[in-house]
Structure 1
Amino acid sequence: MKAPTLENSRVKLSLLDLTNYQHLESIAQEKDLIFYSPSDISTPEKLRAYVEVAVDGYYHKTIIPFIIYDKEKAAYAGSTRFGLINWKNKVLHIGWTWIGHSFQGTKLNTNMKFLMLQYAFETLEFEKVEFRIDERNAKSRRAVEKLGAVLEGVLRNDTLMKDGYRRSTCCYGILKNEWPDIKTKLMSILN
């Protein structure tokens, strides 16, 4: 599997691996950056372990991890990925997304998600894209709802967090037949 480079005038998503993750070390240490995630990227060692898991998933064809480069700010901004890729059923998840605080609210995330959705539906020809978000994470939930994703249900107490809390996870989805209308809407608000 060859990782795509997804790019528009605002953002470039390229394969995250052990040769480039160091660009993210200072961002990964920002306070509460991934508060709602069960992952820990707070030290260079923990960030490397996080990337190693992503790279392993890439070689097993279940993950495509990306490093995010913000062209407007000419800086690396964070990471995102396709995960839990189910090639047989043509379903994948978009998530594990974190971008530095200074990149949030700048439409960078909308541009990234547009490129990822476009690739999933138009190149991979997948039938469904899912997003899984901590029930408490109102900001991320609003962001995927603005994309046009539909709340399909809540998995109660399904994920153990770093601090021992058991979170409930909101499951959102976009179907392939919904993509054309969503694409039109997103294209009108990009950049």
Structure 2
Amino acid sequence: MLKLENEYVLLSLLNLENYTHLIAISKEKNLIYYSPSTISTSETLKDYVKVAIAGYVDKTTIPFIIYNKVKQQYAGSTRFGLINWKNKVLHIGWTWIGHEFQGTGLNKQMKFLMLQYAFETLEFEKVEFRIDERNQKSRKAVEKLGATLEGILRKDTVMNDGFRRSTCCYGILKEEWPTIKLTIFKDY
């Protein structure tokens, strides 16, 4: 079973047995405000997990449950998605962590593990991030990881309320990873 781990965080495969640890977190207000998904009830969270698992079976996603080892608590979920094995490109996204874990450095810890796995184990050429143009908090977080804004897809995603969002496309190339690892993640 795939696990990505350091002394701060454990990412293990999300499944229908462990997702129940996330029910309380998924109900936090505005947790995924900028997402076209819904996870605010036990039923919608279970449906969200089923979609993630189906993607894992199809080899287009690798969904994780996030466990904060310092606080000894489950913190949220993230995944590799839109995995293109032929072109060696994948996305990191579908990330949500409980409000109490935001701003603690947990996101940077797990993104390091995911980037390291994507570039060093899978030997992919590029990692992409797609973020709602309005979501300044997530955009700044991805920029702090060394990702480059490559462009904006205008009005490309319909949100639950019918709003058509524009999506910012960020990327990190394999050849950029060694420098990013030695600078941004130098203490990891």
The TM-score range, normalised by the shorter chain, is: over 0.9
CA displacement at 1:50 relative to structure 2: 0.1
Shift of 1:158: 0.2
Q: State the distance in 2 between where 1:160 and 1:46 align.
A: 18
Specify the alignment match of 1:64 in structure 2. Answer: 62
- Quote the sequence identity (%): 73
1:120-150 deviation per Cα after TM superposition (whole angstroms, max 9, x unaligned): 0000000000000000000000000000000
Match for residue 111 of structure 1? 109
Structure 1 residues 25-58: Cα deviation after superposition (integer angstroms, max 9, x where no partner)? 0000000000000000000000000000000000
**Partner Cα distance (1:42, 1:167) in 2:** 20
* Equivalent in the alignment of 1:78: 76
Paired residue for 2:147?
149
Query: Which residue does the alignment assign to 1:89?
Result: 87
Task: Report the equivalent of 1:31.
Answer: 29
Q: Which residue of structure 2 aligns with residue 171 of structure 1?
A: 169
CA 1:186–1:9 in structure 2 vs 1: closer, same or farther (change >3 Å)?
farther
Gaps of 5+ in 1: none
Normalised to the residue count of structure 2, the TM-score between the two structures is: 0.98
Give the whole-Å Cα distance in 1 for the aligned partners of 2:79 and 2:131: 14
In structure 1, which of residues 11, 14, 17 is the aligned counterpart of residue 12 of structure 2?
A: 14
Q: String of CA shifts for 1:43-101, please: whole Å, max 9, x gaps.
A: 00000000000000000000000000000110000000000000000000000000000
Deviation, structure 1 residue 188: 2.7
List alignment gaps of at least 5 residues for structure 2: none
Cα offset, 1:187, TM superposition = 2.8
Deviation at 1:189, TM superposition (A): 4.7
How far apart in 1 are the matches of 2:104 and 2:71?
Answer: 10
Letter in 1 for 2:47: A
Instruction: Report the count of equivalent residues.
Output: 188
Matches of 1:30 and 1:159, distance apart in 2: 23
Mapped contact 1:114–1:186 kept (Cα < 8 A): no
Give the aligned CA root-mean-square deviation in angstroms.
0.8
Deviant stretches of 4+, over 2 Å: 186-190
